[in-house]
Amino acid sequence: MCCPGGSTSMQACPAGTYNFQTSQIARANCTDCPAGSYSFAAGSVSCDECPAGKACPVGTSVPTDCSSGQYALNGSASCENCPAGFKCPEPYEPPVYCEEGTYQNTPGQTTCVTCPAGFGCPHRNDTEACAAGFESFAGDALCHQCQPGNYSYAGAAICELCPVGFECSNPATAPSQCGRGFVSIGGQTTCTACQSNEYTSGPGQSSCLPCPAGRKCSDPTQAPTSCTSGTYAYEGNGTCTVCPRGQYCTNPQSPPQDCPGGTYSDIGWTQCEPCPAAYGCADAASTPVQCSPGQYSAEGQTACTNCTAGTFCPIGATVEIACADGYYSETGWTACLACPPGYSCTASAATACSAGTYSTGLATACTACPLGYYCADQGSTPVACPAGFYNVDPTASNCTICPAGFECPSTETVGSACNTGYQSTAGQTACTICPAGYACPDNTNPFHNTACWAGSYSILGSEICTECPAGKYCPSTT
């Protein structure tokens, strides 16, 4: 209160001021309430503290309500805008720090905003776009690094799975395509190398392919190459294998085929060759074996055949050769033998001539010993009987001498007895007439002849002496 000079009454200090002193005489003695306080009624001796949520500048009589998004604590001279990073839902409360995962970049707000996907809000007063290789969902305070096998670009809300056929070694960089010979199924940090027996059809593949049949794949980064002629490869082998002996490989994509009987092959052959003539091929995987002497084979035979009896097979024979007449052979002979003397020969056997026959060699049959000859040796030419001998038995080993008292004019027949008045000794071809003047009592021995006695006679061919008859005389015995 104040009492100006000459006043008859007191005057109250106006609202917004106060005066705690007495004996004051002027309006100037009323003091404005200091900032942060107020006086509602006139004549106040003190100011009250400005309540929270209101502003009380110097000389305030009625505190001013803070606007939305502002705040004021007890004793505040003015309302303050809610700072960035905070929210001020009630003006009489201090600013509230934005919850984790929210932000507020505008002062004077009553609420915080959810941190958007693809951004982080570490300071809560603004958003920060996630760097490449990071992600965030709505409401995440911080960006999170992508899991291995994922990637993202700057500001990504979610990390992407590394696509099939690519690798993502660095989540902050774009996926890198797998090169030829490497694959990925997606979500991989590195591409996986194919095995040496695999390949890929090109870059950026998800799976390795088995090396095709008929190809080799020594380097998965290179395209498969064809197997050379005479080799083969199954699918997935990756290496070409030389066709083995005894088999043939017409197509590198197909398995080896066994050589048929009568053929053979060496390693790396595309076809089997017929077993050559004069050779045997019992095993198609072995070198043909030349037939042994006495054997033969035609082209394409699995085994050599022993030459049959009656034929011969010299070394290198392709067929049996028949023995010529007068020659023979047994099984497996390289040459026919000449039929020896004393034998007859079919093509397959030699048979000794029987008694009474002969051969002088190269004979297909023995010849009967002829009449008048003898064959003591079946292997020699018959021997002719000498004069005075004969032979009518082909089995006889010698000739028979013509007996005394016989004559044998032919060696081929038995001799005939001498006629009366004739005589012979052994071995004579003809009988001899008994001479005149002799008696011939023995027709087998002329030495037994006796001269006729005197007075007797014998004529030519008479066997006895005859006494000279009466009436006659016989001056001579003849």
Alpha carbon distance 38, 49 (integer Å): 7
Annotate 150-212 with DSSP letters as a single string. EE--TT-SSPEEPPTTEE-SSTTS--EEPPTTEE--SS-SSPEEPPTTEE-SSSSBSSPEEPP
Give residue-wise pLDDT tens across range 389-415. 999 999 998 999 999 999 999 999 999
Domain segments of the chain as ranges: 1-81, 243-338, 434-478
Same CATH topology for 1-81 and 243-338? yes
Architecture of domain 1-81: Ribbon (2.10)
Alpha carbon distance 13, 25 (integer Å): 11
Cα separation of the two ends of the chain: 248
Q: How many other CB atoms are there within 10 angstroms of residue 305's CB atom?
A: 16
Q: Which amino acid is at 107?
A: P
Q: Is 28 helix (H, G, I), strand (E, B) or coil?
A: helix
Q: What is the chain's mean pLDDT, rounded?
A: 93
Is the pLDDT assigned to residue 88 strictly greater than 90?
A: yes
Query: What single DSSP character describes residue 110?
Result: S
pLDDT band at residue 1 using 50, 70 and 90 as cut-offs: very low
The alpha-helical segments, DSSP class H, found in 236-328 are none
Question: pTM, whole model, 2 decimals?
Answer: 0.57
Is 332:307 a contact under the CB 8 Å cutoff? yes
Give residue-wise pLDDT tens across range 161-182. 999 999 999 999 999 999 999 9
Give residue-wise pLDDT tens across range 301-360. 999 999 999 999 999 999 999 999 999 999 999 999 999 999 999 999 999 999 999 999
Establish how many alpha carbons lie within 13 A of residue 465's alpha carbon, considering only the half-sphere containing its beta carbon.
Answer: 18
**What pLDDT is stored for residue 9 in this prediction?**
66
Is the pLDDT assigned to residue 22 strictly greater than 70?
A: yes
Of all residues in the chain, the percent with pLDDT exceeding 90 is: 88
Give residue-wise pLDDT tens across range 205-243. 999 999 999 999 989 999 999 999 999 999 999 999 999
pLDDT band at residue 8 using 50, 70 and 90 as cut-offs: low
For the 243-338 domain, the top CATH level (class) is mainly beta
The alpha-helical segments, DSSP class H, found in 242-284 are none
Is 231:248 a contact under the CB 8 Å cutoff? no
Is 368:357 a contact under the CB 8 Å cutoff? yes
**What pLDDT is stored for residue 376 in this prediction?**
85
Give residue-wise pLDDT tens across range 246-278. 999 999 999 999 999 999 999 999 999 999 999
Q: Which amino acid is at 61?
A: S
